Structure 1
Amino acid sequence: MIEILNPAEVAKARVTGALVADILQSLKQRAVVGTNLLDIDGWAKEMIHDAGATSCYVDYEPSFGRGPFGHYICTAVNDAVLHGLPHDYTLADGDLLSLDLAVLKGGIAADSAISFVVGDSQPAESLALISATERALAAGIAAAKPGARIGDLSYAIGSVLAEAGYPINTEFGGHGIGSTMHQDPHVPNTGRPGRGYELRPGLLLALEPWVMADTATLAMDPDGWTLRSATGALSAHSEHTIAITEDGAEILTLPSR
């Protein structure tokens, strides 16, 4: 299903998007050396409920996971990159942490992810990975406008990641979003320009470049959810929800303050 939202629904998406961004920024500030991943999950739960919103993850049960997910946020550390199931782990100095959050409020969902290094140690390899995903995300957003094709966005994202020297996995990527978290169209993190669905105003997309340092192959944890690099290499993940407008793309998952 591909949804095209009306202006009132896009306005609701702005509210949800700002909430997601605000929660992520709060969690980033609180995620210090010694913080437990389960505490991060608990803080996310509290902020979602206090805002009168609903988690998109707690009851999430797709075919590729051992569902339901049962938690409020994805927490991926170091070689973990996607669907990181919060567990009893205490963050250490230099850990590369990715937080992925999707929330439903007012009937419209928004989805965003950030990666950052915990503590005083800031390894160059980690910072390079994070920078590549952020630059790829910016390139994908810049390519998003009415009349563009999904392949144009995928090509823009993939060009940045490939130029940075990272292998690209296309099993998981961006997606449509609206009244539910995951919708068509799928937005691979690399592709050919001029191909795929044509963008139009009112379409919401969650774009999410992610990479692993030396492989494109994923391995599943015994928890049935957490996806890691098959080689144990570091990984990073950046994501924004955007709305296609008459003039281009509006980033919805920006902090309100």
Structure 2
Amino acid sequence: MATEVTTQRMCQGVDCSNEASVLQCPTCQKLGKESYFCGQECFKRNWSTHKTIHKSQSNFLRNFIPRDVVSKPDPATGHYNPFPTFPFTGPLRPVYPLSPRREVPKRIPHPDYAKDGIPRSESLFAGRNKVTILDKKQQDGMRKVCRLAREVLDIAAREAKPGVTTDYIDEVVHKACVERDSYPSPLNYAHFPKSVCTSPNEVICHGIPDNRVLVDGDILNIDVTLYHGGFHGDLNETYYIGSKAAADPDSVRVVETARECLEQSIEVVKPGTLFREYGSVIEKHAKSRDCSVIKTYCGHGINQLFHCAPNVPHYAKNKAVGQAKPGMCFTIEPMISLGSHKDKTWPDDWTSVTIDGRRTAQFEHTLLVTEDGVEVLTARQADSPGGPIPMPTANGDGQSAFAAETSTNAEKES
């Protein structure tokens, strides 16, 4: 009987139409849930989306059962590290307590997870590989929310400077969203406690804004998503904080490589391009700069749902299913590291860091596939802060030793 049930069960991967095997998600088993996949590769490919189910259940209890604080608060500030025994991979530490959850006026439409943290609408589509094709009216809805999201990110980026906290960046983003009659999509998504993700230095993604003060020499990714008019618009960029980071060759190398990886992958987006092809473009360029591609997280479909099909991996030789068609909206958001591609998650169940503590950078756009190419819905404006910079060198010529060596090798090969 067990075998018969298994053969009739479909894989829960969002980009898979195969029958499930006996492979179950071990975390779901611990939580008393069933979730079957056709194989290990499919399970890994869908992990970034699937794990929101775990957060919805485990974080629900944490709202009522606060963690014990082992470290003593600083007498001067009241700040503390909530995970003093955790083996952090780099120098970064969380600085608690977190500020109270910010409220969104009831007059602004809320997504379905705003109240209890559970994205039920996304769960209804779990295991389906059909990608939504937006009609003209829906495409206009995406254009509007993405334009607003760009405005909010630019406002936040102008405030990202030495001496301010990431919690202050969260406050800026929250207010800017409300001013635009928009809901900040991350707020209470699978119980995420803040309105924006702020990821400095070795944090890959999903950093929780807290009381840590930004210092000259940091790099900071700000990941903004808005919900407006029934649609989500998602984008992020990594910024140099102060002047020291922009003068550090390694920081510039990882930031500019991530930026270029996104730009080069967007160049091949058009009807007919397979979703698995973007990862090949990204990984080839990352390796040419002696960087690695984080494999745990991927781009995703976005429309009336925050996350949906398709999954868009950023590494080569992936097994993503499907191809781009006019009217599809999805993100590409490569995460690039100076060191290992492997990651580790802090005990807050959100903050993902590089396993070796080395720096990482990310850039993201929401894209609309058109009849003959792609429209970057979250494109930078003429006055958008940030932007590319040349590699710093001792003689100030704007070219790095790495870039010079690459150029020399290319000349020899030709």
- Asked if Structure 1 and Structure 2 have the same fold, meaning a TM-score greater than 0.5 normalized by the shorter chain, the answer is yes
**2:143 pairs with one of 5, 11, 14:** 14
Structure-2 separation of matches of 1:231 and 1:148: 34
Aligned counterpart for 1:98 among listed residues 217, 221, 224: 221
Q: How does 1:189-200 map to 2 (within 5 A)?
A: 189-192=314-317, 196-200=321-325
- Taking the aligned partners of 2:368 and 2:340, their CA distance within structure 1 comes to 32
Flag the 1:79–1:193 CA change in 2: closer, same or farther, 3 A: closer
Q: Among residues 295, 306, 311, which one is paired with 1:181 in the alignment?
A: 306
Alpha-carbon distance in structure 2 between the residues aligned to 1:28 and 1:97: 9
Cα deviation digits, residues 39-78 of structure 1 (max 9, x gap): 10011110111101112111211xxxxxx00211000111
Q: Which runs of 5+ in 1 are unaligned?
A: 62-67
Identity level (%):
25
Q: 1:228 to 1:193 in 2, by over 3 A?
A: closer
Residue in structure 2 matched with residue 210 of structure 1 by the alignment: 335
Q: 1:230 to 1:180 in 2, by over 3 A?
A: same
- SS where residue 285 of structure 2 aligns? helix
Look up the match of 2:172. Answer: 43
Partner of 2:412: none
Q: Which digits, 9 at most, give the CA deviation of each residue in 1:81-121, with x for residues without a partner?
A: 11001111100001010111111111111111100110121
**What is aligned with 2:251?**
126
Counterpart of 1:78 (choices 192, 201, 211) is 201
TM-score (norm 1): 0.93
2:237 to 114, 118, 122: 114
Count of matched residue positions in the alignment of Structure 1 and Structure 2: 251
- 1:235 & 1:59 partners in 2: Cα distance? 25
Check the 8 A contact 2:333/2:365 in 1, yes or no: yes
Counterparts of 1:181 and 1:233, CA distance in 2: 29
Report the Cα offset of residue 247 of structure 1.
1.4
* Cα deviation code 1:208-244 (max 9, x no counterpart): 0111211111111122211111111011010000000
Whole-Å Cα distance in 1 between the matches of residues 337 and 156 of structure 2? Answer: 23
Q: Is contact 1:149–1:193 with CA below 8 Å preserved after alignment? A: no
Give the Cα separation in 2 of the matches to 1:208 and 1:195.
Answer: 15
Q: CA deviation at 1:254?
A: 2.2
Find out whether 1:238 has 2:363 as its counterpart: yes
Residue 255 of structure 1 and its aligned partner are, at CA, apart by: 4.5
- CA displacement at 1:201 relative to structure 2: 0.6
2:286 paired residue number: 161
Flag the structure with higher strand content.
Answer: 1
* 1:180-214 deviations in Å (ceiling 9; x for gaps): 11111111112349963111111001100111211
Q: Stretches of 4+ moved more than 3 A in 1?
A: 192-195
CA apart distance, 1:153: 1.7
Which residue does 1:142 correspond to in 2? 267
- In the alignment, does 2:155 pair up with 1:26? yes
SS of match in other structure, 2:267? helix
Aligned counterparts, 1:214-229, within 5 A: 214-229=339-354
**C-alpha distance in structure 2 between counterparts of 1:24 and 1:16, whole Å:** 12
- Following superposition, the deviation at residue 162 of structure 1 comes to 2.0
* Structure of higher RCO (CA pairs closer than 8 Å, 6+ residues apart): 1
Contact 2:295–2:342 under 8 Å retained in 1: no
CA-to-aligned-CA distance 1:105-157 (integer Å, 9 cap, x gap): 11111111100110121211111111111111011111110111101222222
Q: Which structure: larger Rg?
A: 2
| Aligned-partner Cα distance in 1 for 2:375–2:336 | 24
Task: Give yes or no for contact 1:205–1:241 (8 Å, CA) kept in 2.
Answer: yes
Decide whether aligned partners of structure 1 residues 59 and 194 sit closer, same or farther in structure 2, where only a CA change above 3 A counts.
closer
Code of the aligned partner of 1:108: F
- CA drift of 1:160 comes to 1.4
For residue 223 of structure 2, give the secondary structure of its aligned residue in structure 1.
Answer: strand
Q: Are the counterparts in 1 of residues 311 and 320 from structure 2 also a CA contact under 8 Å?
A: no
Shift of 1:28: 1.0
Aligned residue number for residue 249 of structure 1: 374
SS in 1 for 2:141: helix
